[in-house]
A and B are shown apart, each in its own frame.
Chain A
Amino acid sequence: MTNQLEAAVLVAVLFSCGLYLCFSRRMLRMLFGFLMISNAANLVLIAISGDPTGKRAATVGADAPAGVLPVDPLPQALILTAIVIGFAVAAYLTVLIYRLYTDRGTANVSTLFEDKARGGAAAKEDAL
Chain B
Amino acid sequence: MNPFGTPANLAAFPVMFPAIVALICLLAPRPSVWRRVLALAACAGLLAHACWIVSHVMNDSPLVLRLGGWIAPYGIVLVADTLAGIMLALSSFTAITCVLFGFAETPTKDEHPLRLPLFLFLLAGINLTFVTGDLFNLFVAFEVMLLSSYGLMTLEAGARESRQALSYLTLNLVGSALFLAVCGFTYSLLGTLNFAEMIVRTDVLAGDYRLTLLAVLMLLVFGLKAGLFPLYQWLPGSYSVMPAPIAAFYAGMLTKVGVYILIRIFGTVLPPSMTELHTLIAWTAGLTMVIGVLGAVGQMRVQTILSYHIVSQIGFMALAIGLFTPFAITAAIFYIIHHIIVKAALFLVGGSITKLNGTDDLSRTGGLWRAAPWLGIAFVLQAMSLAGLPPLSGFWGKFMIIQEGFTQGEWVLVAMSLVASILTLMSMLKIWLGAFWKAAPEGTPVATNGRTRAMTTVIVAMACVSLVIGFGAEKFLRIAKHAADETLDRAGYVADVRAANEILYPSKTPGATQP
* Shortest 7 CB-CB contacts between residues of A and residues of B: A121-B159, A122-B159, A41-B180, A44-B184, A103-B159, A41-B177, A37-B177
Contact call B184/A92, Cβ cutoff below 8 A: no
CB distance from B84 to the nearest CB of A (A): 23
- Of B146-154, B207-215, B319-327, which stretch is located at the interface? B146-154
Contact call A85/B184, Cβ cutoff below 8 A: no
Q: A residues within 8 Å of B by Cβ?
A: 1, 19, 22, 27, 30, 34, 37-38, 40-42, 44-45, 47-48, 74-75, 78, 81-82, 85, 88-89, 92-93, 96, 99-100, 103-104, 109, 112-113, 117, 120-122, 125
Given A92-B151, A99-B162, A125-B160, the answer on whether A48 and B174 have CB atoms closer than 8 Å is: no
Contact call A30/B170, Cβ cutoff below 8 A: yes
Partner of A96, one of B154, B160, B178: B154
B-chain residues with CB within 8 Å of residue A93 when the two chains form the complex:
169, 173
Q: B residues within 8 Å of A by Cβ?
A: 136, 139-140, 143, 146-147, 150-151, 154, 158-160, 162-163, 165-166, 169-170, 173-174, 176-178, 180-181, 183-185, 187-188
Given A44-B185, A81-B140, the answer on whether A89 and B163 have CB atoms closer than 8 Å is: no
Contact call B173/A34, Cβ cutoff below 8 A: yes
B-chain residues with CB within 8 Å of residue A37 when the two chains form the complex:
173-174, 177
Contact call A122/B136, Cβ cutoff below 8 A: no
Given A48-B187, A85-B140, A99-B154, the answer on whether A109 and B166 have CB atoms closer than 8 Å is: yes
13 additional A-B pairs beyond A44-B184, A82-B139, A92-B150, beta carbons within 8 Å, are A22-B174, A34-B177, A44-B180, A44-B185, A82-B180, A85-B143, A92-B151, A93-B169, A96-B154, A99-B154, A104-B159, A112-B166, A113-B163
A-chain residues with CB within 8 Å of residue B183 when the two chains form the complex:
45, 78
Contact call B184/A103, Cβ cutoff below 8 A: no
Alpha-carbon distance between A38 and B172 when the two chains are bound, in angstroms: 12
Contact call B165/A96, Cβ cutoff below 8 A: yes
CB distance from A108 to the nearest CB of B (A): 11
A-chain residues with CB within 8 Å of residue B151 when the two chains form the complex:
92
**Which applies to chain B's interface (DSSP): helix, strand, loop or mixed?**
helix
Contact call A88/B163, Cβ cutoff below 8 A: no
A-chain residues with CB within 8 Å of residue B178 when the two chains form the complex:
41
CB distance from A107 to the nearest CB of B (A): 11
Could you give 30 example pairs across A and B, Cβ below 8 Å? A27-B166, A34-B170, A34-B173, A34-B174, A37-B177, A38-B173, A38-B176, A38-B177, A40-B181, A41-B181, A41-B184, A45-B180, A45-B181, A48-B187, A78-B136, A82-B139, A85-B143, A85-B147, A89-B146, A89-B147, A89-B150, A92-B151, A93-B169, A96-B154, A96-B165, A100-B162, A103-B160, A117-B160, A120-B159, A125-B158
Contact call B147/A92, Cβ cutoff below 8 A: yes
**Which applies to chain A's interface (DSSP): helix, strand, loop or mixed?**
helix
A-chain residues with CB within 8 Å of residue B176 when the two chains form the complex:
38, 85, 89
A-chain residues with CB within 8 Å of residue B166 when the two chains form the complex:
27, 96, 100, 109, 112
Alpha-carbon distance between A19 and B183 when the two chains are bound, in angstroms: 19
Alpha-carbon distance between A48 and B189 when the two chains are bound, in angstroms: 9
Partner of A104, one of B163, B185, B188: B163
Contact call A125/B177, Cβ cutoff below 8 A: no
A-chain residues with CB within 8 Å of residue B150 when the two chains form the complex:
89, 92, 96
A-chain residues with CB within 8 Å of residue B174 when the two chains form the complex:
19, 22, 34, 37
Contact call A45/B159, Cβ cutoff below 8 A: no
A-chain residues with CB within 8 Å of residue B184 when the two chains form the complex:
41, 44-45, 47-48, 75, 78
B-chain residues with CB within 8 Å of residue A96 when the two chains form the complex:
150, 154, 162, 165-166, 169
Chain B residue nearest in CB terms to A77: B136
B-chain residues with CB within 8 Å of residue A34 when the two chains form the complex:
170, 173-174, 177
